[in-house]
A and B are shown apart, each in its own frame.
Chain A
Amino acid sequence: IQLTQSPSLLSASVGDRVTLSCKGSQNINNYLAWYQQKLGEAPKLLIYNTNSLQTGIPSRFSGSGSGTDYTLTISSLQPEDVATYFCYQYNNGLTFGSGTKLEIK
């Protein structure tokens, strides 16, 4: 399964509601996770099984979707959210999306 993320680069203001998209080439059956990777750091698991928040992750992060289309939402963008975000499917093989780089405007 190939994953296409959009946009590849997103610039938003602090406090904005931000939506990142991940589209699969086939049905993912909700076996989708989101990772955040800050510069020079290891990827951090944010969301798994489409909408389950990993322990310790702020509640401003949420996930949704079904079938082939999935979304990561940040309800109120914070400066510390600057990072690249990857989606990851584990329904059929294991593949990562191409990433969305999130910047502060």
Chain B
Amino acid sequence: EVQLQESGPGLVKPSQSLSLTCSVTGYSITSNYWGWIRKFPGNKMEWMGYISYSGSTSYNPSLKSRISITRDTSKNQFFLQLNSVTTEDTATYYCARGSILRIMDAWGQGASVTVSS
């Protein structure tokens, strides 16, 4: 059974970078697609981007200048970096596995990140 677990700082200062790790067990990240999604206070969900089985990436155009998703296949982990954060980036961040159609069928429990000075 695939399991995903997000980890990283829960508090980030404005203008700094947000970095999260998704550790995957029970399934290789060299298959499928692996994405980041966030949920804002008030319930709005936003797809941020994904990295494919081959290492190619796709990002939400609204974030394209600030986001980077990378991976370490030897550790079966993938990573999110979001630069120049503001308070509007305060959210719960989820990592998820996606199918070829980008249907996210397995999710982590989520990591709450607050951007505040």
Contacts and interface: CB of A to CB of B under 8 A. Distances in A.
Given A42-B110, A45-B104, A96 B94 contact: no
B107 A48 contact: no
A9 B42 CA distance: 13
Interface stretch (B24-32, B43-51, B69-77, B78-86): B43-51
Nearest to B6: A42
Contacts of B47: 93-96
Given A95-B47, A96-B47, A98-B43, A43 B102 contact: no
A33 interface: yes
Q: Which of under 10, 10 to 19, 20 to 34, or 35 or more describes the interface residues of A?
A: 20 to 34
A43 B94 contact: yes
B106 to A, nearest CB: 8
Nearest to A42: B107
A49 B99 CA distance: 12
A99 interface: yes
Nearest to A3: B45
23 contacts: A31-B101, A42-B107, A42-B108, A42-B109, A44-B107, A45-B104, A48-B101, A49-B101, A54-B105, A86-B45, A90-B101, A90-B102, A93-B47, A94-B60, A94-B102, A95-B47, A96-B44, A96-B46, A96-B47, A98-B44, A99-B43, A99-B44, A99-B45
